[in-house]
Amino acid sequence: MYRRPKFLEVLLEIRQEMAREADYDVDLFAEMVRSGKIAENEKIHALPESVSNSKNNKKTKSEIKINRRL
């Protein structure tokens, strides 16, 4: 049987690390939901209001969609 190229070895290591991080994130989110701490910071991922398109201070379509969701 042939040996794996170095690229595949590195790629597999990266994928394993990403899988571990994803598992950690899921566990953390589940713990936040169970403990009720997620409701305290409702706008934790919201964009700041000062971020807008510099031309005539118009907001982009993505900014408008995000603001509608909040």
Cα pseudo-dihedral 56, 61, 67, 70, rounded to 10 = -170
Confidence of residue 2 (pLDDT cuts 50, 70, 90): confident
pLDDT in tens, 8-35: 999 999 999 999 999 999 999 899 888 8
pLDDT in tens, 29-66: 899 888 887 655 556 666 666 555 455 566 666 666 65
Q: How many CB atoms lie within 10 A of CB 66?
A: 15
Question: Which single residue is written with the structure tokens 């000062």?
Answer: 50
CA distance 6 to 9: 5
Give me the pLDDT at residue 3, please.
84
Give me the pLDDT at residue 32, please.
86
| CA neighbours closer than 13 Å in the CB half-sphere of residue 32 | 12
Confidence of residue 67 (pLDDT cuts 50, 70, 90): low
